[in-house]
């Protein structure tokens, strides 16, 4: 594996960092308080090429390789403090755009990908239900086959981007007795009769990434809205989750690097008992642990990216990366707050928000417990 970067890639990362620092942080404190997605920041990211970077040029993308895409996400995480915005964009890219690219018909790709890539459309991914979270395939949302298509009834919860979505990729079962083999994917446009978006869900963190519920009441969808063959929903979901677990936390690498630099700078400047607090071994050790976590997490992430760039499976590696990155971000956020002391606990210093945002990473895209289950199964346990 060669993780060295070309001069062009490094220049691109620098450009991404500069863009994020300049364009994505203004008004963040208020957006976080109000729980609002920065639509203008979303559009700026789209114009910069974020949403379409790994997607084909024929659909308005740039056709970049996965390693360059990961590097971009890392740069965004370093430059932007808006973890919610970055999470919302990642959720669309990997769990909506990528499945459409990999499993959609030519007509579906032409209908959705250009708008999603350029920021004109926002997409949501509906899998979780009130009674179906980690047990993903025990769905109650039913797709009944009728002449010309399907009728959907049921609901989805914890849906990222739902309150602002123009379309949604949703999963329903055509036959509950077949369990995973009955799960089928559908593309649903906002305004479709029988399809509604319910309440906003207020969250502890990632508040600038809106979350809501999707409700289907006798919602008719023509057969052309089915994504992939009937019963292929499990394959589509697994594919999108491998991508999502590989890439959705890449921005955390950048955020952890920013955290570390700011904590080190503070530990050098802040004096207590006549010396910088970084001279105290307990503080220095904490900063060392943050550095080790950062470098280990980065290696895990780029191993996954390298495997995918070689066309190799990365289910095990993606699960390990998702588990380690998410839990490392939580711990490093705690260490950053401890280093800043009372100031780190205040909203003004913008350190505490990283911790609130980081905790969500241990839950979405499969909880840490589920990642451990996946790893154990692939170890033959």
Q: What long-range pairs does 189-193 form, CB within 8 A, spacing at least 24?
A: 190/165, 190/166, 192/219, 192/221, 193/219, 193/220
Residues 293 and 216: their CA atoms lie apart, in Å, by: 43
Catalytic residue (choose from 129, 244, 257, 317): 244
Contacts of 311 (CB under 8 A, 6+ apart): none
Residues 225 and 266: their CA atoms lie apart, in Å, by: 54
Is 105 in a helix, a strand, or coil?
A: coil
Contacts of 147 (CB under 8 A, 6+ apart): none
Q: DSSP label at 278? A: G
Residues 152 and 184: their CA atoms lie apart, in Å, by: 11
Q: Could you tell me which residues are beta bridge partners of residue 149?
A: 146, 222
User: How many angstroms separate the first and last alpha carbons of the chain?
Assistant: 28
8 assigned to active site: no
Query: Closest Cα partner for 322 from 254, 248, 240, 378?
Result: 248
Looking at the annotation, which residues are catalytic?
Answer: 244
């Amino acid at each position: 594996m060669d993780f060295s970067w070309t001069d062009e890639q490094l220049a691109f990362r620098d450009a991404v960092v500069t863009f994020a620092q300049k364009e994505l942080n203004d008004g963040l404190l208020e957006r976080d308080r109000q729980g609002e997605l920065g639509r203008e920041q979303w559009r700026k990211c789209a114009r910069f090429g974020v949403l379409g970077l790994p997607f084909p040029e024929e659909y308005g993308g740039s056709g970049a390789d996965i390693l360059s895409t990961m590097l971009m996400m890392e740069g965004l995480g370093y430059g932007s403090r808006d973890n919610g915005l970055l999470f919302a964009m990642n959720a669309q890219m990997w769990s909506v755009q990528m499945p459409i690219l990999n499993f959609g018909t030519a007509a579906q790709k032409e209908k959705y990908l250009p708008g999603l890539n350029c920021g004109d459309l926002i997409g949501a991914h509906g899998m979780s239900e009130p009674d179906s979270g980690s047990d993903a395939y025990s769905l109650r949302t039913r797709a009944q086959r009728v002449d010309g298509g399907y009728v959907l009834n049921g609901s989805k919860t914890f849906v990222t981007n739902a309150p602002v979505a123009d379309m949604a990729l949703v999963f329903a079962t055509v036959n509950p007795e077949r369990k995973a083999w009955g799960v089928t994917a559908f593309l649903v446009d906002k305004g479709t009769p029988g399809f509604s978006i319910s309440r906003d869900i207020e969250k502890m963190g990632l508040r600038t990434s809106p979350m809501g519920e999707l409700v289907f009441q006798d919602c008719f969808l023509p057969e052309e809205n089915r994504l992939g063959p009937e019963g292929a929903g499990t394959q589509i979901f697994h594919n999108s989750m491998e991508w999502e677990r590989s890439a959705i936390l890449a921005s955390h690498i950048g955020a952890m690097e920013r955290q570390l630099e700011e904590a080190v700078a503070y530990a050098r400047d802040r004096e207590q008992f006549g010396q910088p607090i970084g001279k105290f071994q307990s503080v220095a050790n904490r900063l060392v642990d943050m550095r080790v976590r950062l470098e280990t997490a980065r290696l895990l992430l780029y191993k996954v990216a390298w495997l995918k760039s070689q066309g190799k499976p990365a289910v095990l590696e993606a699960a390990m990366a998702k588990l380690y990155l998410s839990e490392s971000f939580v711990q490093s956020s705690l260490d950053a707050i401890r280093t800043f002391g009372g100031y780190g606990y205040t909203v003004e210093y913008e350190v505490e928000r990283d911790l609130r945002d980081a905790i969500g990473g241990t839950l979405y895209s499969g909880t840490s417990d589920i990642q451990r289950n996946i790893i154990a199964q692939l170890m033959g346990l």
